[in-house]
Structure 1
Amino acid sequence: MRIPGVVSFLIASLCLAGCSSTAGVDALDLQKPSNETTSSVIRPPAPIAAAPAARGNRAARAGLAPMSDNGPGEKTRPFGLAEEEETGMFAAPDAPDPQVPDVGGLPVEPAALVSPPKLLTRAAPAMLAGPLTHYGFRDAKPINFGKGSPRRLAVHGVDVSRWQGNVNWDKLRAQGANFAYIKATDGGDHLDPMFMKNWRNADAAGLKRGAYHFFYWCRTAGEQADWFIRNVPRVEGALPPVIDVEWNGESSCKRRPSREKVLEKMQVFMDKLERYYGQRPIIYTAPDFYRDNLRGEFLDYPFWLRAVAQHPSKVYPGRKWLFWQYSGSGLSHGVTGRIDLNVFHGDERQWRAWAGGRQTVADAN
């Protein structure tokens, strides 16, 4: 009578041990750091022409070892809300100027990192052959940039995310938006809920469109690149993808990696996107992050600079730029509330040449 009881006890003990052992293995597996470079990139159905080899400081970083850190995706931070880098006196908006003179001491003709202007062919898309929509925005906090006014440049656009709600893209286009950068992803697991709607509707309204990713410093670069690729279509005529790098005090991630690690992670992310989309990514940044990490770096990449109180030439001395975010308080009939305003560094002909092709920065050198 007692032997069956002992046997039952032994069997029950073995079962419990087996369950505990399995749970322990799973728990250990969850703690494994993910690799910086993953293999989940969706490969294109047809090969993409190899991107030009990078030069300069990029080669110097080729031998750096990969990082291994991970964390949750960014979920709270809207694009372009970094603290304003200067305190400026608000002034009435500058009067429109049909001419395109020098901007803040920087000549317009050699637009920074833009391919040499070329004439459009008859096969060019109708959107590029048509006239630009001229600036018609208002600004809740207008800044007088003097001779460097962004209104003296020809091609204006916006960037949007879910924080703009339902956008009337036809009205936004009529107001002066010729291009739009649309929030797609951040981290490795967050997709902006308005991305696909904005992506489709911006195109239907005739705007050149591109997507941006908010980089999260508690997630590996490879995972973030794969997440962006999974969610952002590769379509002909889209603007190059953007990596948004800045310090975010409201983020759940409190890490501020060293300058070396920041550059390494950015390079991993940008290399993956360039291989997949066939376009060199654009770097968006804010003044404090730039001072800490990017001065003198990535000279062969186009930059999109936030400078809402002074001209970029004063906030980012010596840095060439492709786009300038000059206001975070724009007003338009197409949105409720405020919207970020941006401008392309070049004239109309240069815009048509750049936006009408798939040039990389190396083409301009």
Structure 2
Amino acid sequence: MATVFADHRPVAPAPKQTENGVTYDQGAARATELEPAATSLAQELATASETKSAPAPAVPSPWADKLGKLGKSLLAPVLGILAFLGLWAALAPTVDTSLGALPGPVEVAEQGVALFGEWQASNEAKAEFYAAQDARIAAGTQAMAFDYAGPPTFLDQVVTSLETVALGFVLATVVAVPIGLAAGLSPLFNAAINPLIQIMKPVSPLAWLPIVTMVVSATITSADPMLAKSFVISAIVVTLCSLWPTLINTAVGTASIDKDLLNVGRVLKLGTFQKLTKLVLPSSLPYIFTGMRLSLGVGWMVLIAAEMLAQNPGLGKFVWDEFQNGSSQSLARIMFAVIVIGLIGFLLDRLMMTLQNLVSRNHAV
């Protein structure tokens, strides 16, 4: 039986060589040359190992980012409101009036709740009145129906004020936009009406009110008109005082249209109506809405004074009646009405600003 054995001859050590009289080991020299490369490779392997073992960085959630921005945007207003309420509550007892100390936030809030309760009670009484009237008519004891004659509540007067300012704002827009378009397209017409605008624009609603009252009273002579005289008077005063911002902004927006755009309209031989609807209005709509936003704010401010003097059943009349009443709750009710007037004005401005941004985004030329 043959057995095969491996050749285990010893490996001879690397020969030592002599160069310039110096004897050195060739293997040691080779190891010295490879040492930097080995060290660099070891560092790369260690870095790769640490990268694999380290957890991946957390990716911020878009919802978390949005919530953070929302929190920052709400924090400052909330803190400002709380600081104002605290200062109001602290200083109110120190301010004396003819009706006692100035009401604080708690007293004003209580009167707001009381006004809401009066509105609920009025609605119940109104429902009972009409139910009883229907029963009498069905039984034959009453020949005709009558309207409920109860006094308007605070919420009813808020609705009346909104209706009044809406009518005045619509009339102002209908009058101001065409005149502004004509003034922007015609420098001659603009020069003709500019002095009148500058004279009429600063006139107070208190100056317009007597004139409007006499004209409306002479015009509406029916015993049962479709719209009450006081309502029409207040709406027209709002129109006269609020149309100027819309008129001026419309004229500026129309005059600033790119002339090349108008030249294109001439080349295409567009008619007057087509030029207005396809070129002029889309270009000037952002300016028009800016003017409408300003006009609505002016109209809401003017409305309160107009309703006070015209005795239109709105927020202005509510404030005046409470002032004339002089009860212990009157001052708190007036202050609550002032807060409501400010909140409604703020909401109307936000509404118009939203419409303005929407129009500016979708109708740019």
- TM-score, normalised to structure 1, is 0.21
Q: Whose helix fraction is larger, Structure 1's or Structure 2's?
A: 2
Structure with more relative contact order (C-alpha pairs < 8 Å, separation 6 or more): 1
- TM-score, normalised to structure 2, is 0.21
Bigger Rg over Cα: 2
Q: Whose strand fraction is larger, Structure 1's or Structure 2's?
A: 1
